């Protein structure tokens, strides 16, 4: 029989996307089979690398602050999320979240991939279209 587990917050890891995540539920930490969930803190000016999650959906709940995200095949769309917003990202959609504000952003992220980083695919060819803090 499977066990219920508590994963204590605190420890974290630096993701392929270029952001820091606090450890949460994953195959690595809890033995989950179909989900992972983490806390993300984005400092002012932080930006992920353009990427997508291969065959896995993402759901995000913004706890505090506001951020923007470029998304689409050419990162041609932009959206702004604020505290209290939910954000859904379909599998395979290139995106790049960033924090253009002077306040940190905190969000809970859940994906239908139990492995923390396995389905992350960096999209280097979109780097020229990405948000870069120094260019803004």
Q: Is residue 8 one of the residues assigned to a domain?
A: no
Domain membership flag for residue 2: no
Q: Does residue 67 lie within any of the structural domains?
A: yes
Task: Quote the strand ranges of 44-101, DSSP E.
Answer: 51-53, 58-64, 66-71, 77-82, 86-89, 95-98
Residue 9 lies in a domain: no
Domain count, the chain: 1
Let me know how many helices (H) and strands (E) the chain has, helices first: 1, 11
**What is the reported pTM?**
0.87
Domain assignment of residue 3, yes or no: no
Q: What percent of the chain is predicted at pLDDT more than 90? A: 68
Phi and psi at 77, nearest 5°, equal -110, 150
Segment 58-84, tens digit of pLDDT: 999 999 999 999 999 999 999 999 999
Domain that holds residue 106: 14-128
Closest by Cα among 110, 71, 107 to 92: 71
Q: Let me know if residue 100 belongs to a domain.
A: yes
Give the confidence band of 85 by pLDDT, cuts at 50, 70, 90: very high
Assess contact for 30 and 53: CB atoms under 8 A.
no
CATH number, domain of 55, equals 2.60.120.10
Residue 36 belongs to some domain of the structure: yes
């Amino acid at each position: 029989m499977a066990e219920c587990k508590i994963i204590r917050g605190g420890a974290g890891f630096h993701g392929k996307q270029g952001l820091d995540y606090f450890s949460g539920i994953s195959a690595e930490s809890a033995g989950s089979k179909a989900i992972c969930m983490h806390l993300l803190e984005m400092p002012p000016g932080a930006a992920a690398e353009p990427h997508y999650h291969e065959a896995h959906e993402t759901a995000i709940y913004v706890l505090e602050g506001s951020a923007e995200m470029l998304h689409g095949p050419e990162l041609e769309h932009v959206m702004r999320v604020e505290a209290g917003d939910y954000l859904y990202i379909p599998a395979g959609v290139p995106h790049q979240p960033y924090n253009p504000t002077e306040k940190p952003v905190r969000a809970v992220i859940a994906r239908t991939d139990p492995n923390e980083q396995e389905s992350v695919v960096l999209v280097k060819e979109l780097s020229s279209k990405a948000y870069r803090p120094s260019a803004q």
